[in-house]
Amino acid sequence: MKIFKLIFKNALRHKLRTTLTILGISIAVIAFGLLRTVVSAWYVGVDAASANRLITRQAVSFIFPLPLSYKDKIEKIPGVTDVSYANWFGGVYKDKNQFFSRMAVDPETYFDVVPEFVVPSQELENFKKERNSCIIGADIAKLYKLKVGDQMSLEGDIYPGTWDFVIAGIYQPKFKTTDAMQMLFHWDYVNERMKVEMPGRENQVGWYVVQVGDPSKSAQISSQIDALFKNSPDETKTETERAFTQGFISAYGSIITSMNVMSWAIVGIILLVLGNTMVMAARERTREYAVLKTLGFSAKHIVGLIFGESMFISFLGGGIGLLLTFPIVAGFSQVIPKGIFPVFEIETITVVLSVGAALLIGVLASIFPIQRALGTKIVDGFRFVG
């Protein structure tokens, strides 16, 4: 118990220095947790991808459309259980700062291949019947205080003009990682206007969502689909939904890599801050350690004092930082548009890494001071003037 008392008193001997060290560690842990949360949020879509879904898109680029006629051919491939399609619509709701996914889909099949969007049966039937209706995610309804029967108007950009929709249903996310910030409406509604207003752009879809019975045959089925349209004007590239989502993320690869590097650089900064404090403390107490050795304190007692002080400061700063990280991340989640990061919260692995970093830093920061204290002879210790 006396050792613990000495550790506590030593840690608080220079209150300002210890306070600033703890503050620095806390800020660094907060920054580490926030950056790791942003990185994790990027990969939520990848984690939410279904194992039994494939995406067929234009081989050159996702931005180029595919003919609607491909659907019937894809459905005939053995192993394919269902096929739907969707088209990125874009558009502006209220103003350009209001971002969420807006897509034209096949109302008859889309919710069959994407069962994680849970829609009440009656609302789904109403959606299928009304050509200008839409279904929105629960988070959109909550954010804009919308309900079934309300109207939503989009100002088109990719598809010019004003587009008016009636909310026929609100879907609930089946899983925690399911995106609840999407607006879905009839592809036919868009296609009919294209026939009149922009001839040549009708009967085109953005991509096909292909459901397979056996995920282990995904590669084989993907090859068969692409072989169907090889050497055609619109060749295809079929891949798993996970790979398709990762393709989007790869466009921001340099940003994500930078954040990863920064988060671990912060750990190094924490180590330098605490290491500097411990080195200064050990240097100041050189004569004290000589006195303790003279009084019969063993090497393990000296190690315990230095190691305990390092761990005390490290864990106190890390603990405060970790506790503050939760409300700070929650605050950021309210500021960041929901459509960018549908799920923005601290993951368990981030907490584990933060605690692990605090533990590791406490250990590493104590190594040099311990070596110095143990390696200094009693006579040299008494002669030391610091």
> pLDDT by residue for the chain (386 residues), tens digit each?
567 777 777 777 788 888 888 888 888 888 888 888 888 877 776 666 788 999 999 998 888 999 999 999 999 999 999 999 999 998 899 887 778 889 999 999 999 999 999 999 999 999 999 999 999 999 999 989 999 999 999 998 888 899 999 999 999 998 888 888 899 999 999 999 988 888 888 899 999 999 999 999 999 999 999 999 998 999 999 999 888 877 766 666 667 778 778 888 888 888 788 888 887 777 777 777 777 778 777 788 788 888 888 888 888 988 999 999 999 988 887 777 665 666 778 888 888 988 888 888 888 888 888 888 788 787 776 666 65
Given 200, 233, 266, the domain boundary residue is 233
Does residue 184 sit in the same domain as residue 215?
yes
Q: Which pair of structure tokens corresponds to residue 212?
A: 């397979």
In a domain, 238, yes or no: no
Give pLDDT, residue 324. 92
Show Cβ contacts of residue 82 under 8 Å, excluding neighbours closer than 6 positions. Answer: 75, 109, 112, 113, 210, 211
Q: Which of 47, 108, 30, 101 is nearest to 337 (CA)?
A: 101
Q: What pLDDT score was predicted for residue 345? A: 80
At a CB cut-off of 8 Å and minimum separation 6, what does 384 contact?
Answer: 286, 287, 290, 376
Q: C-alpha distances in angstroms, 236 versus 191, 221, 242?
A: 21, 13, 17
Same domain, 260 and 213: no
Query: What is the C-alpha end-to-end distance of the chain, expressed in Å?
Result: 29
Domain boundary pick from 186, 204, 233: 233
Same domain? For 75 and 201 the reply is yes
One domain, residues 306 and 204:
no
Same domain, 76 and 225: yes
> Model-level pTM greater than 0.75?
no
**225 and 257 both lie in a single domain:** no
Q: Examine residue 369 and state whether it is found in any structural domain, yes or no.
A: yes
**Residue 51 belongs to a domain:** no
Structure-block tokens of residue 326: 């939760």
Q: Are residues 7 and 71 in the same domain?
A: no
Residue 326 domain boundaries: 2-44+253-383
Question: How many domains in the chain?
Answer: 2
In a domain, 60, yes or no: no
Question: What pLDDT is attached to residue 128?
Answer: 94
Q: Going by DSSP bridges, is the β-strand pair 53-58/182-186 parallel, antiparallel, or unpaired? A: unpaired
Same structural domain, 91 and 27: no
CA-to-CA distance for 386 and 383, rounded, in angstroms?
A: 10
Whether residue 57 is contained in a domain is answered as: no
Q: How far apart are CA 196 and CA 191, in angstroms?
A: 9
Write the CB contacts of 81 (distance below 8 Å, at least 6 apart in sequence): 211, 212, 213
Beta 101-105 vs 182-186: how paired, if at all?
parallel
Q: How far apart, in whole angstroms, are the C-alpha atoms of residue 71 and residue 73?
A: 5
